[in-house]
Amino acid sequence: MVCPYCHRFTPDQGFKCINCGAVLSRKDAVGGYDAVAPQGHVDRNFFKPWMLLLLVLLGILAYVFVSHQGRSVAVNAHDPGVELAIENYLLKGKTNIVDFYSDYCPPCKKISPLLQEMSSKRPDLAVLKVDINRKGVKGIDWGSPLARQYKLSSIPHFRIYDGEGDLLMEGQEATNEVLRMLLAAGIRM
């Protein structure tokens, strides 16, 4: 029935309006409507919890999207910055570009999407990102075990391996080759 005091639908099993708390009797029903709200009347309060839930979910999705935007998934994401045998992550039969990076390195962030675009255009190519930063370290972590293991003094630092896992080049030579590959793929910086 529709409560005569708040004009909202309330189940007719009770003697009290669930919306405003008014004590009701069957004869209090508005306009003879027992189980249906009056024609043209929309209970806007019904939508509020659903709209609030929808807004909260959209907010969570937006936060997740923005917080992960520009961040890459590294092969060592489970334990970044610790020593790592790169050879265990190379894909056989593909040219592998290993990109040592840090989320605190602007050039690394700039080249990362370009490398991903190139790898999507070239099925013979695999790009492996390796985060040199240990968890909790702000700024580029030059003292990490991984940075010391590969004697890194600048990033992005590239190593290029052939399909058999043999190191072809690294450092500045590899950087020049990566830039050449990007240009050959039609990707401009």
Span 13-68, pLDDT tens digits? 667 887 788 887 766 555 544 444 455 566 666 667 777 788 888 888 877 766 54
Q: What is the mean pLDDT of residues 69-82?
A: 66
Under 8 Å between Cβ of 126 and 119: yes
Sequence-distant (6+) residues with CB within 8 A of 155 are: 100, 101, 102, 105, 107, 108, 132, 140
Between CA 108 and CA 99 the distance in angstroms is: 9
pTM comes to 0.60
pLDDT at 41: 60
- What domains can you pick out in the chain, each with its CATH number? 1-69 (no CATH), 86-184 (3.40.30.10)
Q: What is the mean pLDDT of residues 76-87?
A: 82
Phi, psi of 147 (to 5 degrees): -65, -40
Instruction: Return the top range by mean pLDDT from 6-10, 70-74, 110-114.
Output: 110-114
Span 131-186, pLDDT tens digits? 999 988 999 999 999 999 999 999 999 999 999 999 999 999 999 999 999 999 89
Span 93-142, pLDDT tens digits? 999 999 999 999 999 999 999 999 998 899 999 999 999 999 889 999 99
